[in-house]
Copies of this chain bind each other. A is one copy, B any other.
Amino acid sequence: MCTIYAKMSFKSEQHIKVAVDAVVFGYIQNHLQILLTKQNHGSGIPKWALPGGFVKDNESVECAVSRELQEETGVNVNYLEQLFTFGSVDRDHRGRVVSVAYLALINPRHFILCTSREDMETEWFNLDEIPDLAYDHKEIIEKGWERLKAKINYQPVGFELLKREFPFSDLENLYQTILNKKIDRRNFRKKIMSYDLLLETDKIYQPKSGRPAKLYKFNHRKYRKLEKDGFHFEVKFA
The CA of A19 and the CA of B14, in the complex, are separated in Å by: 10
A residues with a Cβ closer than 8 A to B are 1-8, 10, 14-21, 37, 39, 42-43, 47, 49-62, 64, 68, 72, 82, 84-85, 87-89, 92, 94-100, 117, 119-120, 134-135, 137, 232, 238
Least distance between A221 CB and chain B CB atoms (Å): 24
Cross-chain contact B17 with A68 (CB below 8 angstroms): no
Can you give 24 A-B contacts (C-beta < 8 A)? A2-B21, A2-B39, A2-B49, A2-B135, A3-B39, A3-B72, A5-B42, A5-B119, A6-B117, A7-B54, A14-B57, A16-B17, A18-B98, A59-B89, A60-B88, A61-B87, A61-B88, A62-B87, A62-B88, A64-B87, A82-B85, A85-B85, A98-B98, A232-B238
The CA of A21 and the CA of B3, in the complex, are separated in Å by: 10
Chain B's closest residue to A150 (CB) is B154
Measured between beta carbons, the chain B residues less than 8 angstroms from A58 are 89
Tallying the copies of this chain within the complex gives 2
Which residue of B1, B49, B134 is within 8 Å of A53 (Cβ)?
B1
Which residue of B8, B19, B87 is within 8 Å of A100 (Cβ)?
B87
The CA of A92 and the CA of B72, in the complex, are separated in Å by: 30
Instruction: Known A-B contacts: A2-B50, A2-B52, A10-B17. Give 13 more (CB < 8 A).
Output: A1-B49, A1-B53, A1-B97, A2-B49, A2-B53, A3-B51, A3-B52, A3-B68, A3-B72, A7-B54, A14-B56, A15-B57, A85-B100
Cross-chain contact A8 with B54 (CB below 8 angstroms): yes
The CA of A7 and the CA of B52, in the complex, are separated in Å by: 11
Cross-chain contact B61 with A3 (CB below 8 angstroms): no
Cross-chain contact B85 with A1 (CB below 8 angstroms): no
The CA of A110 and the CA of B60, in the complex, are separated in Å by: 37
Cross-chain contact A10 with B95 (CB below 8 angstroms): yes
Least distance between A31 CB and chain B CB atoms (Å): 24
Cross-chain contact B19 with A18 (CB below 8 angstroms): no
